């Protein structure tokens, strides 16, 4: 088991080196005040005027200047069997995680981040992308979203489910990454979802509050 570097009874904001607007980081910190950077995310933090509580990763993307400024907060994890995002999730204990800067610049990094959250059913991890928030569906949950809101489902392995409050039903469908996926469904009322298997849920970024209410009772 990995040693915990940061522990929080509430939420933690994780910041990577991808696309992350200062306004989004500020909103995330209002909900999850502890800021942890994954490697090059520390430079993004400093650029926007934030100082991370800890910097975790192999530190191969962090400039010498940033390393000097944050020398008392660096936690070098040199093994290459996990991503810097995964290293953070393994070593930060929190009630929930708001994660920015893990999408947008390189597609391989974005895909790795999606795989990371799909593989962690026990952690409430919310990925905040440029236009959407993304999370792994719990076995059963309710989302309070306005009618006509776009809600997409993307399987990261064999998955199935049932839903109330969606225009297109899920019952009887078998989802797989190489077969049927569930993009561009539409909300008709309060949504209740029951999901079996690794399924990602994507909704517009404006509904982060509703997502947190569903994942963190």
Mean pLDDT of each 10-residue bin along the chain, 217 residues long: 88 95 96 96 94 94 91 91 93 97 90 95 96 97 96 97 96 94 94 97 97 93
The pLDDT value given to residue 80 = 79
**Helix H or strand E encompassing 212:** helix 208-215
The pLDDT value given to residue 2 = 76
The pLDDT value given to residue 36 = 98
Q: Residue 148 belongs to a domain with what CATH number?
A: 2.60.120.320
Number of folded domains in the chain?
Answer: 2
The pLDDT value given to residue 102 = 95
- β-strands 92-93, 6-7: how paired? parallel
The pLDDT value given to residue 1 = 58
217 in any annotated domain: no
Q: Do 77 and 178 fall into the same domain?
A: no
Q: Do 101 and 12 fall into the same domain?
A: yes
Q: Do 45 and 106 fall into the same domain?
A: yes
Check residue 159 and report its DSSP letter: B
Q: Do 111 and 18 fall into the same domain?
A: yes
The pLDDT value given to residue 217 = 79
Q: Do 38 and 120 fall into the same domain?
A: yes
Backbone dihedral region for residue 59 (phi beyond 0: left; psi -120 to 50: alpha; all else: beta)? left
Q: Do 91 and 169 fall into the same domain?
A: no
Q: Do 116 and 148 fall into the same domain?
A: no
Instruction: Pick the last residue of a domain from 65, 100, 130.
Output: 130
What's the token pair of residue 115?
Answer: 């795989």
168 in any annotated domain: yes
Range of the domain at 26: 6-130
212 in any annotated domain: no
The pLDDT value given to residue 41 = 95
Instruction: Pick the last residue of a domain from 112, 130, 148.
Output: 130
Measuring CA to CA, how many Å separate 29 from each of 12, 48, 78, 134, 152? 8, 13, 28, 18, 26
Q: Do 43 and 86 fall into the same domain?
A: yes
What's the token pair of residue 82?
Answer: 């996990």
The pLDDT value given to residue 61 = 86
Q: Do 29 and 108 fall into the same domain?
A: yes
Q: Do 116 and 146 fall into the same domain?
A: no
Instruction: Pick the last residue of a domain from 130, 153, 182.
Output: 130
Tell me if 45 sits within 8 A of 16, measured CB to CB. no
Q: What is the rounded distance in angstroms from the CA atom of residue 181 to the CA atom of residue 201?
A: 11
The pLDDT value given to residue 30 = 97
Burial group, residue 179, by CB count within 10 angstroms (0-12, 13-18, 19+): exposed
Q: Do 12 and 86 fall into the same domain?
A: yes
Q: Do 19 and 120 fall into the same domain?
A: yes
Burial group, residue 55, by CB count within 10 angstroms (0-12, 13-18, 19+): buried
Q: From the centroid of its chain, how far is CA 180?
A: 23
Q: Residue 77 belongs to a domain with what CATH number?
A: 3.40.50.10240
Q: From the centroid of its chain, how far is CA 26?
A: 16
Q: What is the pTM of this model?
A: 0.94
């Amino acid at each position: 088991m990995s040693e915990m570097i940061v522990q929080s009874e509430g939420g933690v904001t994780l910041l990577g080196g991808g696309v992350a607007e200062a306004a989004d980081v500020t909103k995330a910190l209002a909900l999850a005040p502890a800021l942890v950077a994954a490697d090059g995310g520390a430079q993004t933090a400093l650029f926007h005027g934030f100082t991370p509580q800890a910097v975790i990763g192999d530190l191969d993307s962090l400039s010498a200047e940033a390393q000097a400024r944050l020398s008392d907060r660096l936690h070098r994890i040199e093994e290459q069997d996990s991503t810097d995002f995964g290293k953070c999730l393994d070593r930060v204990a929190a009630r929930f995680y708001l994660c920015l800067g893990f999408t947008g610049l390189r597609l391989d990094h974005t895909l790795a981040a999606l795989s990371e959250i799909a593989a962690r059913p026990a952690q409430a991890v919310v990925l905040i992308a440029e236009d959407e928030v993304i999370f792994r569906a719990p076995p059963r949950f309710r989302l309070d979203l306005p009618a006509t809101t776009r809600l997409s489902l993307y399987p990261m392995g064999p998955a199935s489910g049932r839903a109330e409050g969606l225009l297109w039903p899920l019952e009887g469908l078998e989802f797989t990454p190489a077969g049927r996926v569930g993009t561009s469904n539409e909300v008709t009322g309060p949504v209740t979802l029951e999901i079996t298997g690794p399924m990602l849920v994507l909704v517009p970024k404006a509904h982060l509050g509703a997502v947190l209410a569903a994942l963190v009772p």
